[in-house]
Amino acid sequence: MTGLPKTAEELALMETARRVLPGGTFGNFPADIVIRSGKGGHVWDVSGNEYVDFLLGSGPMFIGHCHPRVDAAVIEQIGRGTTFFANNEHGIRLAEAIVEAVPCAEQVRFLSSGTEADLYAMRLARAYRGRPKIVKFEGGYHGMSDWALMSLAPKRLANFPAPVPDSPGIPDALRHEVLVAPFNDAEAAVRLIEAHQEEIGGVIMEPLQRLIPPKPGFLQAVREVTARLSIPLIFDEVVTGFRFAYGGAQELYGVTPDICTLGKIAGGGFPLAAVAGKAEIMALFDRAAAGEERFLMQIGTLSGNPVAAVAGLATLAVLREPGTYEAVFATGRALMEGLSRLIAEAGIPAQCLGEPVLFDVVYAEGEMRDYRALLRQDTAMQRHVNAVLRAHGILKGDSKYYLSTAHTAEDVARTLEAFRAALATLPASRSAA
């Protein structure tokens, strides 16, 4: 397949990357593109090729690249200092904005990445309850810590609740500290939590697991059993926070956890994440309130960084403008409906899965209720279509379209034309119903 043309400059950078970076990448995205700039809903590579950007830096650029209000706030703050380690006014104001927006948030502790936030949220829950085990759901992504890399994408399937390590280097002893449940199976989740209630420190889950929406009543059932047994419930909202609604997925789905984690949008494109939750639980981060025995130490050089904080504050101010969420959801629905129409016309076994601001095409038929159902999809077809989209100037991740407030009807139309072209390249035997 012929991609977009590459200049000597970009090819040389790719060669340098192969020499100095493992696999030639930062570990995030394929090595065959080097991005130079972004504006609104588009990015440009070093060769000057323009792409409609549905990658959005893996999600944080929800109001688009180089938004003038974010840029102005950041430039002003850089002239005043880039980091202090001590409290700064903008970090305090951002914490206040999060508390006002997010249903479960009574207090906030800042960190620099979603991985850190999820790691500390799990540690916080275990410390608060004084129990060692964490319950997670098979296929759920909670960062790159040892605890999180249990049954994220297991290469072999195990009987629940046994976890499967996703990476070498994870201590074998951790197998005994993580319990795994199937997503969207309320009966199984409740049964597992009740059976192990004396060992469980907390339950962590993505309210929308990767692309899979919760079935009606599922989140409510997990919330009910954890509340009844006084087990902290953690919603990982690093992706969904401020994306699904101003109050996140917990606002959209109407279920409030005890703790949540935030990132991506909250930092406006800069390294910032947060743990937020009930004051009684968050008090463990306060030595004076918790006491020496229960105090949970957490230190981060860049936690609450003022540049990231002003970017986050400027982003949230844009999102509070009337009609913002209605508009981006409408754009996402138009793209989902257009893709679904083209899928039906081509007669391929595929479907759109997710919410209008975060979804993808899954190349499989039938109900997609959990990780094991997703294993049915034709990943070769998915890779092929994504490659053709890239060759037509549509940039997306392996398994997501991230929508932004900067995407336009013209971007939707261009994407649909590229998708139509991609489907036309599929062999007839693969595109038959």
Which tens digits make up the pLDDT trace of 390-408?
Answer: 999 999 999 999 999 999 9
pLDDT of residue 72: 98
Same domain, 236 and 327: no
Residue 32 CB-density burial (10 A; 0-12 exposed, 13-18 middle, 19+ buried): middle
Question: What does pLDDT average to over the chain?
Answer: 96
- pLDDT digits 0-9 by tens, 320-340: 999 999 999 999 999 999 999
Question: What is the three-state SS of 41-106?
Answer: CEEEECCCCEEEECCCCCCCCCCCECCHHHHHHHHHHHCCCCCCCCCCHHHHHHHHHHHHHCCCCC
The C-alpha atoms of residue 267 and residue 262 are separated, in whole angstroms, by 9
Tokens of 410: 């013209």
121: in domain: yes
Same domain, 248 and 150: yes
Closest CA to 41 of 313, 421, 357, 321: 357
Q: Which of 295, 319, 343 is the last residue of a domain?
A: 319
Contact between 283 and 259 (Cβ < 8 Å):
no
Name the one residue in this structure whose structure tokens are 């995407």: 407
Instruction: Tell me the sheet residues that pair with 52.
Output: 42, 394
Same domain, 36 and 164: no
Specify the DSSP class assigned to residue 426.
S
pLDDT of residue 2: 61
The C-alpha atoms of residue 59 and residue 295 are separated, in whole angstroms, by 33
Active-site residue flag, 215: no
Active-site residue flag, 136: no
Mean local confidence (pLDDT), 335-347: 97
* Domain harbouring 327, CATH code: 3.90.1150.10
Active-site option among 51, 120, 128, 141: 141
Domain range enclosing 232: 68-319
Compute the chain's Rg from CA coordinates: 22
Phi and psi torsions of 215, nearest 5°? -70, 150
The percentage of residues in the chain with a pLDDT greater than 70, rounded to a whole number, is 98
Active-site option among 236, 360, 370, 411: 236
Active-site option among 136, 264, 396, 400: 264
Q: Which of 287, 319, 351 is the last residue of a domain?
A: 319
Pairing status of strand 273-277 against strand 107-111: antiparallel
Contact between 212 and 374 (Cβ < 8 Å):
yes
pLDDT of residue 1: 54
